[in-house]
Structure 1
Amino acid sequence: MLPLSPAPIRLGRIGYLNVLPLHYPLEQGILKPDTPFELVSGPPAELNVLMDQGRLDLSGCSCIEYARHPEKYLIVPDLAIGSRGPVQSVLLISRTRPEELDGASVLVSAQSHTSAALVDLLLRQHVGVSPRYRTGDATALLATGERPQAILCIGDEALNLRRHPDYPHRMDLGEAWRQWTGLPFIFGLWIARREPACARREEIKAGARLLIHAKKWGQANLDRISAVAARGSILSETEMRSYFDGLVYDLGLEELDGLRLFYERLAEAGVIPAPPELAFLPL
């Protein structure tokens, strides 16, 4: 009998342009995995659920997912998605200044739990206002002619709506966090479930190393990535390169300080019970 092929690693892929530098070399066959993997694409909130349910082994996820279930996960070292200033794709767009949003209705995307928690921290603790939130699809709602007072938009939608004429005021959440704390903000982490990381240790580690290798390839080839990303986008290649240049894909000491501070602020606000210890996948 022929030996059975190993089951593929179930790898979650955040379905936004910001992770294209990571996944392009894998999806184009530029880097070859030693272990087969099954790619599952979706917004961060959806991948959070799949990881929590054990339906993925390794995935990019909202950093808040790790904080909610640290006992389930290990963080892939030196791999993240964040910014050291303007992130451009996580924006609060508003018809009035953010300082005037006290009691106002803010439409929040359901696609990212981290961004929803961050905008609430920023508005309440940094700006000093207490808005009301409702969840919805901003693009679909705007198409009906409705104009919410403010909208939290993320990912590709934020890139498309950032110059909407009815929303002249914009708060870039990455830049606002930097102004507030002086630190980078990490929106997403790559995490592995502890169970497969133990049961299939070498395969999960190989998958994590492949992702780190892909990150380094993407960082070294941003002109090529920008040209690909600009196709079908409202952004030019130059604008797309500026967007990628503003993103952080590394998880260094300063990024970890920013992540820990975010978890501390979430705990103070009662969003999570306590700041979690950061446990890393050994490579």
Structure 2
Amino acid sequence: MNIGEISYTNIIPLYYYLDRERLMDDGATITSAVPSKVNRLMEENKVDIGGISSFSFGKNADRYSLAPDLSVSAFGKVNSIFLFSKYPIEELGEKRIALTSSSETSVALLKVILHHFYDVAASFQVETPLFDQMMEQYDACLLIGDDAISANRVNRRYHVYDLGEIWYQQTGLPMVFAVMAYRKIMETEKKDLLSYVIKSMIESKERCQFEKFSPVIHKAMQEHGGDYAFWDSYFNGLNYEFNGEHEKGLNLYFRLANECGLLKTIPSILKFSYT
């Protein structure tokens, strides 16, 4: 079994306390990459379970199921998914927007937000997530994860919009940015190992929450800079559950993405019982 691990700070709590040595002894491997690459590897059957973009799950729901009680979500500001713009968001009609190559969920979310909430039709181009170069060539840019955090730390020139905040203001529902999904065939091929991995991820999440994310915060400070107060606010502002409200939010996201022509169908949400 190959486990996909998104190489962004926001998902660390789901992996932080995994017993990696035991997983290796059980024949599992862990592949770390940006969300778009983990998505692609899972679509190519090279990753069996992992944190993937919600949009990628939506495209592949006929082949994937969800692990219960795990996500990267926000009831409001997510503080790591930003649209930087030279213009107010409602004035982006016919403007050029650079999109990070690292994400699918956030790219689709931006298109949903502009179309449904602001009636704005812009043009889009996927680019390598380099803030200064993007803003030199375009009217706005979308960055996610650690790229977005770093850019927002130095930005003093542009309008900044948090997509999680806009979504929550407009819908009253959480935005589910990433889910823990697996290929359905794992339920028959590797059911015991699948159950162990899901249980371990839930336990890792719960331990990090019990510790108020303190070890994770220190790890983030060491790797990305910033002070304790920033990362404390960041992790405690995220939500790692997946319950009824998350399902409502994810279903609405899928429906609006379908109406925008971004998803061919509206997928059903299926979850695995690991007990």
TM-score normalised by structure 1 residue count:
0.91
Q: How many Å apart are 1:163 and its aligned residue? A: 4.1
Point out the more displaced range, 206-215 or 114-123.
206-215
Residues 174, 249 of structure 2: 8 Å contact kept: yes
Written as runs of structure 1 = structure 2, the 5 A alignment for 1:116-131 is 116-131=107-122
Counterpart residue number, 1:157: 147
1:27-62 residue CA offsets vs partner (Å, 9 max, x unmatched): 787xx5583421101111111111111111111100
Higher Cα Rg, which structure: 1
In the alignment, residue 170 of structure 1 is paired with which amino acid? Answer: V
Q: Which amino acid aligns with 1:192?
A: Y
Secondary structure in 1 aligned to 2:193? Answer: helix
Residue from 228, 248, 258 that aligns with 1:267: 258
Gaps of 5+ in 1: 1-8
What residue identity is the alignment partner of 1:227?
H
Match of 2:90 among 99, 108, 120: 99
Question: For residues 75 and 232 of structure 1, what CA distance do their matches in structure 2 show?
Answer: 30
TM-aligned CA deviation for residue 240 of structure 1: 0.4
Pick from 172, 177, 182: which aligns with 2:172? 182
Alpha carbons 1:10, 1:38 under 8 Å: kept: yes
Match of 2:41 among 35, 47, 50: 50
**Matched residue count:** 272
Matches within 5 A, 1:22-41: 22-26=14-18, 33=23, 35-41=26-32
Task: Tell whether the 8 Å contact from 2:115 to 2:260 is kept in structure 1 after alignment.
Answer: no
- The answer for the alignment partner of 1:213 in structure 2 is 203
CA distance change for structure 1 residues 96 and 164 in 2, over 3 Å: closer, same or farther? Answer: farther
| Counterpart-to-counterpart distance in 1, 2:259 and 2:135 | 38
- Report if aligned partners of 1:95, 1:166 keep a CA contact under 8 Å in 2: no
Give the ranges of 4+ consecutive aligned residues of structure 1 lying more than 3 Å apart after TM superposition. Answer: 32-36, 163-167
Contact preservation (8 Å) 1:63, 1:114: yes
Stretch of structure 1 that moved more, 244-253 or 231-240: 231-240
**Shift, 1:82, TM fit:** 1.1
Contact 1:192/1:281, CA 8 A, preserved across alignment:
no
Deviation at 1:67, TM superposition (A): 1.1
What amino acid is the match of 2:179?
L
Tell me the residue number matched to 1:21: 13
Q: Is the 8 A contact 1:93 1:167 kept in 2?
A: no
User: Equivalent pairs: percent with the same residue?
Assistant: 27
2:59 corresponds in structure 1 to 68
Residue type at the aligned position of 2:16: Y
Q: Is 1:256 matched up with 2:267?
A: no
Identify the range of structure 1 (15-24 vs 81-90) with the bigger mean alpha-carbon deviation. 15-24
Q: Equivalent residues in 2 for 1:217-232 (5 A)?
A: 217-221=207-211, 222-232=213-223
CA-CA distance at 1:220 after TM superposition: 1.7
Over aligned residue pairs, what C-alpha RMSD do you find? 1.9
Unaligned segments of structure 2, at least 5 residues? none
Secondary structure, aligned partner of 1:228: helix
Q: Give deviations 1:67-104, integer Å, cap 9, x for gaps.
A: 11111111001100010010010110111111111111
What is the DSSP-based 3-state SS (H/G/I as helix, E as strand, rest coil) of the residue aligned with 1:102? coil
Match of 1:112 in 2: 103
**Secondary structure at the counterpart of residue 271 of structure 2:** coil
